[in-house]
Amino acid sequence: MQRTPIREPGTTDMDAAQPNTETGDDILVRIRDMHFSRGERRIFDGVDLDIRRGKVTAIMGPSGTGKTTLLRLIGGQLAPDRGSVRVDGLEVPRLGRAELYRLRRRMGMLFQSGALLTDLNVFDNVAFPLREHTDLPEAMIRDLVLIKLQAVGLRGARDLSPAELSGGMARRVAMARAIALDPMMIMYDEPFTGQDPISMGALVTLIRRLNDALGLTSIIVSHDVQETASISDHVYVISEGRVVAGGTPDEIERSDSAWVQQFMRGLPDGPVPFHYPAPDYRQDLLDGAQEPRP
C-alpha cells in the first residue's frame, strides 16, 4: 500500500502528518496518574499507561469502565481532573484550540457508529478532511480518495450514501476517512461490536494491515477479547478506574489475577459476581411469604 504524504500550503515536510520522533521517545501516548469524574461518578482513579509508536495497543475492560472516555481524553475532547495526558510530547489538556486542532490532524478516530456525515456520499465523506485541510486540486483528491477506498475494499461503493451501507461497510469507510490525512495514530472505539463474522474478520485484518503498511500507531478499545488480542502487540485491562493488568496478549492470558482470568475467559461468575448484591435468597423468599397481602 502506498503512503501518500499530504502537506498543507505553507508548511514544511516536518509539519506534515508524520510522526514526530525528534525526541527519540518511543512512547507516543503517555498517561500518568490521570483522574477523571463525571459528576459524582469516578471514572478513572490514577491511570498510568504508555502507548508505543508503531504498535497496536488494546485497551480492554467490561462495558462502562470508561474505555471510550479514555479515547476522548487522549483526543482532547475531555479534560482530566488531575494528572497528565501527553501525546507526541504535547500535554493535551493544556493545548489551546488551534494547537489541539493541529494535533488532531495527525490523529484519526473511528467511532463505534462510524460517524459518517449522512448528507455526503462515501466518496465525499473520505474527501471531507482533505477538502477541509488541504488546497489540493480536485483531481488529486479524487485519486487519494480512491486509494484510501481501495485500501479498505470499498472503491466500488464510492457513490453510495451512508444509509445504504452495512455496519461493517460504514466502519471501513470511516477507516478510509481516518487515514485520509495519513495520521500518526488511529484510535478505534469498539470496532468489532455488532459485526458478523465476515465483517469482523475484514476489520481485524484491516486494522493490523493498515497499522503496519502505513507505520501507524493504533489504539483499540474493545471488549471483544479474542479478536482484539489476536492483532494486538500490547494489552491493557482496565477496571474500576485503574489499569489492572498490562502486557503482551500472552502475558495477559497467563495472568494469575482472578479478575483478568474471568474477563479474558468470559466466565459468568468470579470477582465480578453474577448476582447483583442482594439480601440472602432464602430469607428474601421467606420474608415475602410472611408479608400480609395488600
Partner 1 sequence: MIDWLRSLGRDGIAVFEKIGRGNLFLLRTLAGLPEVLGRPRLLLAQLYSVGVLSLLIILVSGLFVGMVLGLQGYNTLVQFKAEESLGVVVSLSLVRELGPVVTALLFAGRAGSALTAEIGLMKATEQLSGMEMMAVDPIHRVVAPRFLAGVLSMPLLAAIFSAVGVYGGWFVGVGLLGVDDGAYWSQMQAKVDLYDDIWNGVIKSMVFGLVVTWIAVFEGYDAVPTSEGVGRATTRTVVHGALAVLGLDFILTALMFGD
Q: How many residues bind partner 1 (CB under 8 A)?
A: 23
Count of Cβ atoms closer than 10 Å to residue 202 Cβ: 18
Does 107 contact partner 1 by CB under 8 A? yes
Does 205 contact partner 1 by CB under 8 A? no
Closest to partner 1 by CB, 132 or 250: 132
DSSP state of 285: H
User: Hey, what's the cell of 250?
Assistant: 500472552
In three-state secondary structure terms, 83 is strand
Does 175 contact partner 1 by CB under 8 A? no
- Residue 37 — φ and ψ, nearest 5°? -130, 150
Q: Does residue 241 contact residue 44 with C-beta atoms inside 8 Å?
A: yes
- Cβ of residue 124: shortest distance to partner 1, in angstroms? 13
Gyration radius (Cα) of the chain, Å: 22
Does 34 contact partner 1 by CB under 8 A? no
Does 157 contact partner 1 by CB under 8 A? no
Does 105 contact partner 1 by CB under 8 A? yes
Does 132 contact partner 1 by CB under 8 A? yes
Binding segment (CB under 8 A) for partner 1, from list 40-48, 108-116, 150-158, 285-293: 108-116
Exposed / middle / buried, residue 151 (Cβ in 10 Å: 0-12, 13-18, 19+): buried
Give the binding site for partner 1 (CB under 8 A).
75, 77, 97, 101-102, 104-105, 107-109, 111-113, 115-118, 128-129, 132-133, 174, 177
